[in-house]
Amino acid sequence: MNGVSHELLGRLRKTTLVVQTRKRGAHKGLRRSHKFGSSLEFSDFRAYQPGDDLRQIDWNIYGRTQKHYIKRYLDEQEVKTAIYLDCTKSVSIIPSKWERAKQLAATLSYIALSNEDQVSFTPVANGNPRVIQRKGAVQAKATLFDIINLSNESTTLTFTESLHTQLLKDKQLTIIITDGLEALKKYDTVLKKLAFLNGDVWFIQMLNKLELEPDYQGDVKLIDSETSHELNISMRPKIISQYEQRLHEHLKNLKKICDKYGFRYLLVNDEKTVDEILLRDCISHGWIR
């Protein structure tokens, strides 16, 4: 399934996204909470909402009132997760980076939904900016398919410009997947806004191998994929070394911005499979268990 195997999905169904914030949603999920959930300790009822587990409907109350109510218990609740995918040309023009970024967004959505959580997926700077909002395991595979098959319809807006206007409130976990190659000041501005929303934030920076370790030689013409600006340059070892130093400094400062706001940061090379990113990198960083 476009780089996501059935074996991987089977393993992901046994995992969960580790969320540290105490703020939780009001509906049923499969994770521990000090509030309401599905333990044996009954609490009260609430009205049924689309996406709720039908098995939790109290049919005795329905028989008396002709209305659907869900039982609430003390223990477990859902987490509302927002996932933002960078759809600018600097991501989508490189096939390996674009496919890996979509796979990562899709599988993270799959994990959340498999835990009966709620997911809002936003393609940022995409010509079709429709937000996908889903809840529950029954929606997991369809959401995975929709994200993996997302078309490349980049706009002229930058990622940070678009993200600034598309941020959703009341989310316990926000996941940003981008190549992170805009000016640091722009990221600082939008991440500062996110910090006021008081949820966990994961910043995943996806880069291509040639962006991390360019191996161009001789006279080449470089074209900015977003501005179409052209630059003729002789790729000598000194030039490549200077580029790598500037990139290293940019990555270091971008992580510092994330650290400043208490956000988690992960740098990913698109040469890695989505299995490696999720089951090795994310687990070792304590993001998934």
pLDDT of residue 35: 43
pTM: 0.81
Same domain, 241 and 169: yes
Same domain, 250 and 271: yes
Phi, psi of 141 (to 5 degrees): -70, -40
pLDDT of residue 289: 93
Same domain, 137 and 197: yes
pLDDT of residue 154: 74
Q: What is the pLDDT of residues 181-210, one digit of tens each?
A: 999 999 999 999 999 988 999 999 999 999
Examine residue 8 and state whether it is found in any structural domain, yes or no.
no
Helix axes 237-260, 184-195, angle to 10 degrees: 20
Contact yes or no for 72/39 (Cβ under 8 A): no
Counting the structural domains of the chain, the total is 2
Residues spanned by the domain of 228: 80-284
Same domain, 45 and 86: no
Examine residue 12 and state whether it is found in any structural domain, yes or no.
no
Q: What is the pLDDT of residues 230-255, one digit of tens each?
A: 776 777 788 888 889 999 999 999 99
In this prediction, the residues of the chain whose per-residue pLDDT falls under 50 are 22-28, 32-43, 74-75
If you write DSSP's letter for every residue of 2-36 in order, what string do you get? TT--HHHHHHHTT--B----S---SS--SEEEEEE
Same domain, 56 and 169: no
DSSP, collapsed to helix, strand or coil, labels residue 103 as: helix
pLDDT of residue 41: 46
